[in-house]
C-alpha cells in the first residue's frame, strides 16, 4: 500500500542553523501539507501546497519557513534559522484530490531537536 | 479556542472491557477523521465519516458521526492490549483545507 515517507527520521541542529525536512507524498496525490506536533501537544497545521504554490498557511508559518516541490516526487520544508521552540515532530501529509471529504495521509514524521 | 475537544484525555482499562471516547465541537465539519498515533510515529488514518448520523465499523471499532456533524464517538468492544495508543479526531472542511485536530485520548489496555 502506498505511503508517505519522510527523511530524516531525526534531525539535531544548533540554534540558528538551517534545516531541510524532506517528504515523498503518495504518488497520485495532489495536495500536500506540513503539520507539527510539539511534545505533549496537539497536531498543528503549518502550510498546504497545491499546483506548485502555497494554498494556505498558519500564523506559525512565518518568514523563517518555506516549502518547495523541487521535482515530481519530493516536497520539502525549510527552516532558515532554527529556534529552540522549533523543536517538534514535523509531519508531512498528502491528499489525493478535491473529493468532498478531507482524507489526509500522514508520514512517520521527522523529530527536530534544536539545541 | 479549542475547536475539537476530546474526552476523556486518559483512559486505562482491563483487557476485554468496552469503552467509548468522544470528540465534540461547536463547529460543523464536512468530514471527521479518526487517527491512531503511536509514540514517535505519525497519525495513522482509521476512518473517515462524512454523513450526519453515519456509523462505520472497523472490526471491534465502531465510529459514529453526530447528526449535526459536530461530534463523533469511537466505541471499542472487548479492548485488547494492541488497542493501546493515542486516538485523535480531526475535523475537515471541503477542498484542501487543513485538518483541525483534537488533543487526543490516550488509551491504555492492560492485560
Q: If you search the block for the grid coordinates 511534545, which residue do you land on?
A: A39
- pLDDT, residue B66, reads 95
Span B55-90, pLDDT tens digits: 999 999 999 999 999 999 999 999 999 999 999 999
Mean pLDDT of A4-33: 96
Distance from CA of B71 to the nearest CA of A (A): 16
Instruction: Please judge whether A106 and B96 are an interchain contact, meaning their C-beta atoms are less than 8 angstroms apart.
Output: no
- Separation between Cα atoms, residue B40 and residue A108, nearest integer Å: 8
Residues of A in contact with B93 (CB under 8 A): 102
Flag if B104 and A95 touch (Cβ within 8 Å): no
Write out the three cell numbers for A24: 515523498
Cβ–Cβ < 8 Å for A38, A88: yes
For residue B34, give the C-alpha cell: 479518526
Task: Name residue A89's beta-bridge partners.
Answer: A37, A111
Give me the pLDDT at residue A66, please. 97
CB A78 within 8 A of CB A69: no
Quick check: A43 and B93 CB within 8 A? no
CA of B34: which chain A residue's CA is closest? A103
- Reported as a single tens digit per residue, the pLDDT across B36-55 is 999 889 999 999 999 999 99
CB-closest option in A44, A102, A105 to B97: A102
Q: What are phi and psi of A110, to 5 degrees?
A: -120, 125
Inter-CA distances, B84 with A92, B6, B33, B81, Å: 24, 16, 18, 6
Amino acid at each position: 500500500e502506498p505511503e508517505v515517507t519522510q527523511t530524516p527520521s531525526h534531525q539535531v541542529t544548533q540554534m540558528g542553523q538551517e534545516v531541510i525536512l524532506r517528504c515523498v507524498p503518495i504518488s497520485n496525490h495532489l495536495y500536500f501539507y506540513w503539520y507539527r506536533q510539539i511534545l505533549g501537544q496537539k497536531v498543528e497545521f503549518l502550510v498546504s501546497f497545491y499546483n506548485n504554490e502555497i494554498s494556505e498557511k498558519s500564523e506559525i508559518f512565518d518568514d523563517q519557513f518555506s516549502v518547495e516541490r523541487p521535482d515530481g516526487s519530493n516536497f520539502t520544508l525549510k527552516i532558515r534559522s532554527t529556534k529552540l521552540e522549533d523543536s517538534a515532530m514535523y509531519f508531512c501529509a498528502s491528499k489525493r484530490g478535491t473529493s468532498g471529504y478531507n482524507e489526509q495521509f500522514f508520514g512517520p514524521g521527522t523529530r527536530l531537536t534544536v539545541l | 479556542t479549542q475547536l475539537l475537544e476530546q474526552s476523556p484525555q486518559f483512559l486505562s482499562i482491563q483487557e476485554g472491557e468496552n469503552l467509548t471516547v468522544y470528540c465534540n465541537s461547536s463547529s460543523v465539519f464536512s468530514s471527521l477523521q479518526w487517527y491512531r498515533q503511536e509514540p514517535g510515529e505519525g497519525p495513522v488514518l482509521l476512518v473517515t465519516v462524512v454523513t450526519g448520523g453515519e456509523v462505520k465499523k472497523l472490526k471491534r471499532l465502531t465510529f459514529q458521526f453526530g447528526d449535526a456533524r459536530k461530534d463523533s464517538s469511537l466505541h471499542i468492544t472487548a479492548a485488547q492490549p494492541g488497542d493501546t495508543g493515542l486516538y485523535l479526531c480531526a475535523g475537515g472542511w471541503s477542498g484542501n483545507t487543513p485538518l483541525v485536530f483534537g488533543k487526543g485520548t490516550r488509551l491504555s489496555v492492560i492485560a
